[in-house]
């Protein structure tokens, strides 16, 4: 057989395939060590978010493992870390409190199906239209949320007490000292060597110091035990009927929206940091697969985690292997190494997250605040505030809506008319600027059917009709001229727009050689 007819999959060819998919990233060693660092930081986060949602800590840990594994494998952004998140946990708490954890599992399964549908319908691409001030507000707000979440670790439960109180005295100074030492290692170690991720080195060194000197400080084990077994298939124990669907559907839609917004915005942030581009639609499908399977294995679901993703990127993780490694290490912690992981001081993990906060916050936004347009500064601050006081999804929706309204308001002022009277006694209104819902009131005020001559021309050569509100406005003006017994001529109006003018009728003059062929966004043409 000829050589060119026989192709054998050599290791180099397989490596090339995986590299194309972003599997190996920065290399096996860097990816695995970065995954280990992420896994260590995932443990307390997953436990904390499970407690917020009102479920057993293992439900959060299983979610962190399964969502992290499957999203890394099937998602569209190599190097991004997924797991149980606070943004989704705050949505779950009401469902768990009202109907129990089994309904949560059913909701997570349905959440995944909705996310898969979003990917199939190619809705992921729309994240690209999020304005830059909204992105800055999202990043800054999330950095503040991560910082505020760490403050809970500064509280302790007094003996015989029912509520936690703030640390004070020696325990507080020790806690702060360990945080400072952790942050110092993370900051200075890369200037000396990059053999191992600085976050991992900080966790190992400070943990050994605390254990070696028997320092009395809170550890991962003081939050909860992470000892468990392999996740088992678990069909949600809920009635399979329309009543159940109506119970979980509102939560599933909200969870799907929150999860996709946080995941896609995190993907966009990583794209900018690494000068690469993720695949939004594939990420929707990957998140959906992860959540649907997670719900069948007793997990609380999740989405991309900006904090852990930043740890991974800063540690050198760029490929799918880092996410898969993080999930694998997390499972090993649950099965075999829980007693060692529970020895890690919480101060170390707080220090790691504080460095994430510093790296995540867009400090440049503070310097440019007085240099950017006031409207952009307002949107930035608004999104940051809503992220902190409500949630990420609501903040992004509010930011986009406000940005759109500001855009519409500004462009509504850009339309103007030049009025000319011709020698034949006709009056021409030359329209300049886009005609859309924001300026139709001003558009109608341009015309004076009662005092205009018998023949009036509206010239659309320098205007574009953007939506159905504009079409309705043109129809309304045409009807006024008809009632006044006068003839209105609409020139250089696109053919597709002319088809939608019900009342103007034969007053539309269409020159097929000159008139534009753009399309009006209208359902009647769909």
Q: Is the pTM of this model over 0.75?
A: no
3-state SS, residue 76: coil
Mean pLDDT over residues 209-216, rounded? 93
Contacting residues for 391 by C-beta, under 8 A, at least 6 apart: 87, 90, 91, 258
pLDDT exceeds cutoff 50 at 374? yes
Q: What is the pLDDT of residue 505?
A: 55
3-state SS, residue 83: strand
Mean pLDDT over residues 112-132, rounded? 88
Least confident of 39-53, 277-291, 499-513: 499-513
Q: Where in the chain is the domain with CATH 3.30.750.24?
A: 413-525
Question: pLDDT tens digits for 284-301?
Answer: 999 999 999 999 999 999
- Dist CA 415 CA 127 (whole Å): 29
Regarding predicted confidence, which is higher, 110 or 369? 110
Residue owning tokens 């809506």 = 401
Give the strand pairing for 165-166 and 427-432.
unpaired
> Quick one: CATH architecture of 413-525?
2-Layer Sandwich (3.30)
Q: Tally Cβ neighbours within 10 Å of residue 491.
A: 17
Question: pLDDT tens digits for 315-340?
Answer: 889 899 999 999 999 999 999 988 88
Beta bridge partners of 345: 219
pLDDT exceeds cutoff 70 at 396? yes
3-state SS, residue 418: strand
| 3-class SS shares of the chain: helix, strand, coil, % to 5 | 65, 5, 30
Burial 171-209 (b: 16+ CB within 10 A, else e): eeebbeebbebbbebbeebeeeeeebbbbbbbbbebbee
Question: pLDDT tens digits for 421-466?
Answer: 988 889 999 998 888 888 888 888 899 999 999 889 888 888 878 7
Sort residue 266 into left (φ over 0), alpha (ψ -120 to 50) or beta. alpha
pLDDT exceeds cutoff 90 at 302? yes
Beta bridge partners of 465: 435
pLDDT interval class at 503 (50, 70, 90): low
Q: Tally Cβ neighbours within 10 Å of residue 385.
A: 16
- Dist CA 462 CA 449 (whole Å): 22
For CA atoms 114, 116, 117, 121, the dihedral sign is positive
- Dist CA 318 CA 26 (whole Å): 6
């Amino acid at each position: 057989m000829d050589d060119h007819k026989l192709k054998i999959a050599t290791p180099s060819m397989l490596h090339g395939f995986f590299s194309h998919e972003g599997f190996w990233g920065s290399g096996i060693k860097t990816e695995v060590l970065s995954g280990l660092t992420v896994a260590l930081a995932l443990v307390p986060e997953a436990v904390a978010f499970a407690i917020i949602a009102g479920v057993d800590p293992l439900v959060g840990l299983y979610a962190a493992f399964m969502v992290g594994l499957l999203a890394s494998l099937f998602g569209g952004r190599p190097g991004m870390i997924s797991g149980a998140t606070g943004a989704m946990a705050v949505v779950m708490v009401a469902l768990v409190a009202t109907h129990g954890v089994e309904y949560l599992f059913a909701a997570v399964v349905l959440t995944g199906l909705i996310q898969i549908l979003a990917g199939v319908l190619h809705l992921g691409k729309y994240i690209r239209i999020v304005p830059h001030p909204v992105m800055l507000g999202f990043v800054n707000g999330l950095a503040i949320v991560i910082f505020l979440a760490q403050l809970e670790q500064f509280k302790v439960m007094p003996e015989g007490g029912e509520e936690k109180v703030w640390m004070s005295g020696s325990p507080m100074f020790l806690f702060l000292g360990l945080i400072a030492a952790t942050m110092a290692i993370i900051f200075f170690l890369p200037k000396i060597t990059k053999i191992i991720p600085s976050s991992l080195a900080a966790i190992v060194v400070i943990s050994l110091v605390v254990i070696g000197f028997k320092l009395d400080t809170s550890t991962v084990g003081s939050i909860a035990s992470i000892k468990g077994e392999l996740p088992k298939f678990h069909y949600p124990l809920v009635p399979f009927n329309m009543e159940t669907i109506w119970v979980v559907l509102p939560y599933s839609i909200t969870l799907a929206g929150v999860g996709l917004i946080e995941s896609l915005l995190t993907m966009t942030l990583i794209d900018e940091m690494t000068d690469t581009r993720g695949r939004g639609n594939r990420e929707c499908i990957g998140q959906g697969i992860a959540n649907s399977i997670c719900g069948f294995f007793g997990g609380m679901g999740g989405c991309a985690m900006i904090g852990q993703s930043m740890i991974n990127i800063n540690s050198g993780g760029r490929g799918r292997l880092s996410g898969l490694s993080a999930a694998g290490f997390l499972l090993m912690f649950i099965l075999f190494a829980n007693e060692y992981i529970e020895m890690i001081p919480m101060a170390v993990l707080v220090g790691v997250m504080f460095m994430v906060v510093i790296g995540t916050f867009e400090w440049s936004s503070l310097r440019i605040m007085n240099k950017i347009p006031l409207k952009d500064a307002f949107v930035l601050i608004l999104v940051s505030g809503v992220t902190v006081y409500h949630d990420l999804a609501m903040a992004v929706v509010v930011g986009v809506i406000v940005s759109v309204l500001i855009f519409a308001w500004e462009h509504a002022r850009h339309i103007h008319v030049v009025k000319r009277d011709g020698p034949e006694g006709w009056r021409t209104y030359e329209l300049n600027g886009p005609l859309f819902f924001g300026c139709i009131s001003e558009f109608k005020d341009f015309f004076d059917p009662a005092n205009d001559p018998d023949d009036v021309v509206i010239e659309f050569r320098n205007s574009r009709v953007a939506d159905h509100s504009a079409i309705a406005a043109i129809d309304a003006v045409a009807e006024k001229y008809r009632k006044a017994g006068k003839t209105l001529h609409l020139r250089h109006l696109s053919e597709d727009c002319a088809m939608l003018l019900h009342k103007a009728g034969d007053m539309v003059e269409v020159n097929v050689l000159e008139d534009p062929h753009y399309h009006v966004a209208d359902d009647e043409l769909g």
